[in-house]
Chains A and B, each alone.
Chain A
Amino acid sequence: MISTDDTCVVEGRRFHRPVKSNLSVTHKHIALTKFSVRKLISEEHSFSLDTETTSRCSERVLKGEVRDTLAKAHKENATTAENRRGTFLGGSKTENFIRKTKKRMAVWDLSVTVEELGVEAPPLSISVTSDLHIGGVILKIAEMTQIKMDWSDHALWWEQKQQWLLRPAWTLDKCGIHADARLTFIPQHKPLRVGLPNGAVVRLRACFSGPLFHSIIGICRILNIRHPEELSLLRPVEEKKKKKDKETQEQVYDLTEVPLTVGNISSLQNGMPVHFAISPETEAAYKMLSVSQPPPAPETIAKMYRPASVVDKAHIHSRWLDSSRSLMQQGIQENDKLSLRFKYYNFHELEPKYDAVRLTQLYEQARWALLLEDIDCTEEEMMLFAALQYHINKVSQSEPQAMMTCPAMDDLESALQSLEVKMEGESSSMDMLETMTAPELHDYLKIFRPKRLTLKGYKQYWFSFKDTSISYFKSKEESIGEPIQKMDLKGCEVAGDVNVAGQKFCIKLLIPSPEGMNEVYLRCENEQQYSRWMAACRLASKGKNLADSSFTSEVENIQNFLTMQRTNPGTTSAQADDNINTHSLVSPRYQKKYKTKQLTPRILESYQNVAQLSLTDGIQKFLQIWQALPDFGVSYFVVRFKGSRKDEVLGIANNRLIRIDLGVGDVVKTWRYNNMRQWNVNWDIRQVAIEFDGNVNIAFSCVTADCKIVHEYIGGYIFMSTRAREQSDTLNEEMFHKLTGGHEAL
């Protein structure tokens, strides 16, 4: 058992151990059964055993056979066997062993496929000796192809072993390459289609040779997302066949031409990183990245895959790629599609100024998680999310430049601010004097007070809205005298009761008084009247009067919502630009539960609390509420606890592990990371064992996902929590691998 705690040492040990055992097997001809390893692995041993015993001189050839067979076997179960083989041939002891058995240096042919020569071209055959180093091989290849180009990005890929030969100084011998090896000479960076949290797809050049973690750093640098350690790639959910036609239509933003910059992107141009400014297409791509997408059509949401249970969610998490191995090693081909998602829900230093893309994509991921019911929320919360989505969409459409930041903009901003302050200072004297003439509303409205036991219904009076209170009089003529009643709306609750088709425009007021809340209904004649009075009531409930600058925008908002209600849901496509079908703001559950016109007023109700937020504030508020959800940030895995007979669910969150009953969904137990002493992974029986303070030990095997994924998740969160203390922006890549790599690290 390895303790990942002491990664360096232990993993070193771990690295060598299997090698040793292999050797002992081959020499002593020990029966295989002694190894309590999985079938496939024993197969490996048996083959090497055979090789050894049959004949030593023809070792090379036979080994080739072995490897071929192995390669086949690996195709069946590539991921699991990978680790074993790596250790089998990678260790220095193996190398020594091979060296000993070798008689003398001989020249032999190595076959290398070069992509650049064309698909049909036969592989090059290069004569080499075993002590030739990789760099030399590459040099020979470059010479032989007689193509003059920059080969610097190319490297050798060993097909059968699914392994890159990246160390130019290593000899073929050291790498274990023999005549049977079929190598390909390919670029390390290849185009990859990446599905973003917002649903868009970008095509960009990703590193296929380094560990995935490294590739993601590169991808995030292109996309201008800070803190790439929080993201990872996963295999997308297989799409059904009938969607094939759709796929052809799918728009792909091509970013392959974007130069790969090194270091931090600091220079900005037109409010975007320099590398996006090379062409209109890339500029469009940046806009897509940094501005939230309009709400999807409700049908799209309904059609998309939604996890129906915890088990479904657990299956999604089995799709994460392994951070410590390269894309190529994980069977990802050029132009394959992968999804880029925030994997660790621990978002470090979100800074709107630098994180335009990151915030937007985070928002998109959160939004989709809610729309697709990946995370549950209550109805009230859903309405608030809907209101925020509506608001964010509206604001980002009206001021798409708001997110863009550049020094000049900052200056302008501060200049504007100071101007505002100045204006305020200057105008306040005017304001002061004008308080007497603050705008007022006067109209004939109808009032209904259900508190009284009469059945009189609505009665018309002359209403006047002044400051934060409503007074009403018998008629306009009598408005000079004492009002019949004066109601102060400060702290009251305002709700609308509107039916555009039925020409019903009611404002429901709950006005607090020492005796309780007074219910008052005001009925307006038309939309105009309603929106003005409604806006006034809303402002007054927050203690603002009509002079407040937000009054006009409030009126507009209300009118917008009214038009949303007026248009029939059938004609959604026609008016899609301007108005949103409120169904596209909520998850299918609520689409089914409520009709659009029922939904609209409820969203409007929540909307009044957020309508004044700026774009970034709106997004941040959305994220805050998302993060405050009880189920936020929990990744689920179906596991089998040691000593338990049934499958259970393990939730991994950023600060704790949760044991959940699969049937009922109740939390059985919670363990926090800060009480964790160590965790071990037994790769042989694929079991994760964790020790907590106070001698609490748990162990489980993973059912839905590979235990490497679980291990990586835990290690990843530990890594994320160490981050906060480091002030510098540099990413401690080595530490990440130590914590998440398992026995493959280093």
Chain B
Amino acid sequence: MFCVKDFDVSNSLPNFSQIQLNFLCRVWCEKAFTRLEKLKNDADSAEQYKTVLNNAKPGLWVFTDASNWKSCALKSLIHYSFNPVLDTLPASLNELEDNDLDALMADLVAEINAVEESVAQAKSAGGAPKPPPPKTQDHAAPHPAVQNNLGPSIPAFAPSPDLTTLSPALKPQLPEDAEAQAKADKIKQALEKLKEAKVKKLVTKVTMSDESSKTLMVDERQMVRDVLDNLFEKTHCNCSVDWTLIETNPELNTERGFEDHEHLVETLSAWTRDSENKIYFLEKVDKYAVFKNPQNFYLWKKDKKALQDVKDKDKELLLKENFCGTSIIVPDLEGVLYLKEDGKKSWKQRYFLLRASGIYYVPKGKTKTSRDLACFVQFDNVNIYYGKEYKNKYKAPTDFCFVLKHPQIQKESQYIKYLCCDDAWTMTLWVTGIRIAKYGVKLYDNYKAAVSKATTSSLFANRAAPSTSTSSAAPAAKTPAQANGHAGPPPLATAFSEAWTQAENKDHSDLSSLPLPPPDPTLPPPPPPPALPKKDKLTIQPQSGNFPPPPPPTMDFPPPPPDHLLELPPDFLPPPPPAPGEQESHTLPPPPPPPPPPPPAPAVVPNPAPAPKKMSPAPPQRMTPVATAPAGEDLMSELMLAMQKKRKPL
């Protein structure tokens, strides 16, 4: 009788963007509501109405309060309110009749088309790059906005329960081609449906840093990157590159950050029925630390101090050398690690070496030349995990352990390899090195994608935030007013969240901390002058040999100290995000050298080129007073000031 197939809808749609999905949800809710209203108004069906409510199962959405139903619907659609039972679509699909499927399909396609049209319309009208209404409407205080706005949008997408009304729209206009085309379309649809039906989908619970959780649907084709993007939208977090999905296994005390290109479903399906494994959504600095500070991993043999004043161009060069060549170069790691012997409780020391082809060890009485090495493990079939608190669990010499095992192994087994390092930094080195060896260039691609995501979303947040209140007035993005809508002052909430994002951004990655362009006047992030690297290169050449080295200024900028990274609490449950002010003193590395290079540059200029050898010791004395004064904080506060100024006129 009455059944809103919301669950199935969202189920079959995961390849659509979140924007589209959210929009669809709304339309479906609308439908549900109209039917419910009908039911309610019908005098004698009051009784029936109650039973519907009572019998409500997960997957069926029922709304009690008409005045509040919309926000309710949205909420419940986003937070699936049932247990994270692992559930696959085929089952739910099977319950449906074939014609149901057809109807569903037609409905969806029509609606998607409508959305696309309206988006296109809005684009052409307003010229705004991408005004995805759901995103704004997801914002901190969505309720009033949504309630106001949904009304006008309804007529445009009148509920269309019948497939017949919509399917003609799908068909092409030309009569001669129509038949063939229709047939082709049908086949296509059928195929899609079949494919769809074969795609595995899971519902899983993701735990946040504050132990709250969100339930979401992932399908086989979704990469972790997509899931992260999903979560970004749901949590309104800053989209820093450090956000990671983490799998924990309480049975083995292991923890592993997913790589962005992995398929979450694959891992989830390896879990046992009664598994207590969890997925966390957390920020992990070591996820991409190697790309932010490659010198810490590739030049780890050098002393710490030297590594701290590595210049940006040297970092770039390192990345280029190791990740952009024909083959990926793995950091040459070697050293003594403890190995837990098969089935025994003792840990034995061995000298291990990391190569692109695997981990090797030096057999007794042999040298560490390549030919003598014995293979310990190759990476094709194993993943790398952190081992937590193994001092207690397995009597490990330290708590800095990592584990290599086949992803399907969930319980203790002789096929798991346990290794233990002397300190946290060594462990980070090894784990990162192994990840590079295993994933190669994919890791770098992931990072680049993450960075671009982080920069665009921070840009977007900046641009879109002020327009929230007004723009959400037209969630379908139809009115041109919405596109460039930044009339009126931004509401307090948005201003705050904006500031928060900025503060966050500043604290995080070097790359995402590109100056955030103010909302309106475009101030593109200053790209490093293209000529610069070329000139730098020539330092080896004589002319620039005369240049006094510019280390002092850079030295004074607090570079992200590697130690900081290691000392991060190993537990995967950092406290809930504190207020922006607090944040700074807390976990994150001190602000990286701010992106605009001007400060060091002018400092160099006033010292015109005496002989290099004599000069090099001299500069520090001269420069230090100049450089120490401003340092990092000042620049930051300046930035803040600038941001505030920009905001005031609005």
Contact = CB atoms under 8 A, between A and B. Distances in A.
Contact of B411 (A428, A514, A624, A675): A514
Interface string A670-686: 10111111110000000
A627 B356 CA distance: 10
Given A5-B543, A627-B329, 4 more contacts: A378-B371, A517-B406, A623-B326, A676-B540
A630 B332 contact: yes
Interface in A304-330: none
Q: How large is the interface on B (under 10, 10 to 19, 20 to 34, 35 or more residues)?
A: 35 or more
Interface of B: 187, 190-191, 194-195, 270, 272, 299, 301, 306, 313-314, 317, 320-321, 325-330, 332, 355-358, 360, 367, 369-371, 373, 375, 378, 380-381, 406-411, 413-416, 533-534, 537, 539-543, 545, 549, 551, 612-613, 616-617
A10 B415 CA distance: 65
A304 B545 CA distance: 46
Contacts of B616: 695
Contacts of B378: 380
B406 A674 contact: no
Contact of B371 (A515, A589, A672, A691): A589
Q: Which of A630, A694, A721, A725 has the most CB of B within 10 A?
A: A630
Given A350-B326, A378-B371, A516-B409, A718 B357 contact: no
Nearest to A517: B415
A377 B358 CA distance: 12
Contacts of B314: 674-675
Contacts of A589: 371
Contact of A512 (B272, B313, B367, B408): B408
Contact of B415 (A516, A673, A695): A516
B380 A516 contact: no
Nearest to B301: A670
A672 B194 CA distance: 57
27 contacts: A3-B545, A347-B326, A378-B373, A378-B375, A381-B357, A432-B195, A491-B406, A512-B381, A512-B407, A512-B408, A514-B408, A514-B411, A515-B410, A516-B409, A516-B414, A623-B327, A627-B327, A628-B330, A628-B355, A628-B357, A665-B367, A677-B545, A678-B542, A678-B545, A678-B612, A679-B540, A725-B534
B613 A514 contact: no
Nearest to A735: B541
Contacts of B190: 429
B272 A514 contact: yes
Given A378-B375, A491-B406, A5 B541 contact: yes
Given A432-B191, A677-B539, A513 B326 contact: no
Contacts of B330: 628
A467 to B, nearest CB: 12
Interface in A427-443: 428-429, 432
B542 A429 contact: no
A725 B533 contact: yes
Contacts of B329: 627-628
A365 interface: no
Interface in A625-646: 625-631
B617 A695 contact: yes
A724 B378 CA distance: 33
Contact of A517 (B321, B328, B409, B542): B409
A720 B320 CA distance: 14
A628 B437 CA distance: 10
Given A6-B541, A376-B370, A379-B375, A516 B413 contact: yes
B327 A378 contact: no
Contact of B540 (A514, A665, A718): A718
B324 to A, nearest CB: 9
A514 B190 CA distance: 37
Given A380-B358, A628-B330, A674-B317, A517 B543 contact: no
Contacts, number: 142
Contact of B408 (A10, A379, A513): A513
Given A6-B543, A627-B325, A627-B327, A512 B409 contact: yes
B373 A625 contact: no
Contact of A665 (B306, B369, B410): B369
A686 to B, nearest CB: 22
Contacts of B272: 514
A609 interface: yes
A548 interface: no
Interface in A698-729: 718, 721-722, 724-725
Contact of A6 (B325, B373, B545): B545
A49 interface: no
A620 interface: yes
Contacts of B195: 432
A629 B437 CA distance: 12
The 4 lowest CB-CB distance pairs between A and B, nearest first, are A6-B542, A516-B413, A5-B542, A376-B370
A644 B402 CA distance: 42
A627 B355 CA distance: 12
Given A380-B357, A381-B357, A514 B373 contact: no
A380 B414 CA distance: 23
A529 interface: no
Contact of A377 (B299, B370, B408, B549): B370
B411 A516 contact: yes
A579 interface: no
A694 B617 CA distance: 9
A42 to B, nearest CB: 31
A673 B537 CA distance: 10
A428 B326 contact: no
Interface string A3-46: 10111011000000000000000000000000000000000000
B533 A515 contact: no
Nearest to B357: A381
Contacts of B187: 429
B542 A609 contact: no
Contacts of A52: none
B475 to A, nearest CB: 36
Contacts of B367: 665
Contacts of A691: 612-613
Contacts of B380: 609
A59 interface: no
A722 B537 contact: yes
A630 B355 contact: yes
Nearest to A590: B371
A493 interface: yes
Contacts of B406: 491, 512, 517
Contacts of A111: none
A96 to B, nearest CB: 29
Contact of A378 (B328, B370, B551): B370
A16 B551 CA distance: 37
Contacts of A631: 370
Nearest to A432: B194
B486 to A, nearest CB: 41
A630 B370 contact: yes
B254 to A, nearest CB: 13
Given A5-B540, A491-B408, A625 B545 contact: no
A334 B479 CA distance: 82
Contact of B409 (A379, A514, A695, A718): A514
B540 A677 contact: yes
A620 B326 contact: yes
A514 B249 CA distance: 12
Nearest to B613: A691
A693 interface: yes
A623 B325 CA distance: 11
Q: Which of B299, B380, B413, B617 has the most CB of A within 10 A?
A: B413
A171 interface: no
B409 A627 contact: no
A121 to B, nearest CB: 52
A673 B540 contact: yes
Contacts of A432: 191, 194-195
A7 B542 contact: yes
A39 B355 CA distance: 50
